[in-house]
Amino acid sequence: TINSVFGSHRRDDFFTLGASWRATPVWNFVVAGMHNRTLADGFNGARSTVYGVADYSLSKRTDVYLATSYEWTRGGWSGLFGNTTTNAAAARGSALNGRNEQLSVLLGLRHFF
């Protein structure tokens, strides 16, 4: 049995939309977003994310990319990024950033074998 903070009734409405565009043979762009509305006994909240990726091919097997995402929560999900976590980024019981919004940026180099 999985323990849950929700009672026996929970409904999630989940929407997602995305697109990619190969601007040139070496440039590729991706944008997407998602929205999740959760309704449960005594709970009403929403979570949303938008993200984008710019990818530049250095060769057939190597590329560099810049990715960014912005996430926000409302209603019952408020404080999600301030709740405790058990992941490797923080010790058990440590808060993440303590906000309802979170911005992430990633720069990477990828090589396909």
Rama region for 75: left / alpha / beta (φ>0; ψ in -120 to 50; rest): left
CA atoms of 65 and 38, how far apart (whole Å): 33
Tokens of 93: 């019981």
Q: pLDDT, tens digit, for every residue of 66-86?
A: 999 999 888 877 766 655 444
Spatial CA neighbour of 64 closest among 74, 53, 78: 53
Low-confidence ranges of the chain (pLDDT < 70): 1-8, 79-99
Position 102 scores a pLDDT of 84
pTM: 0.72
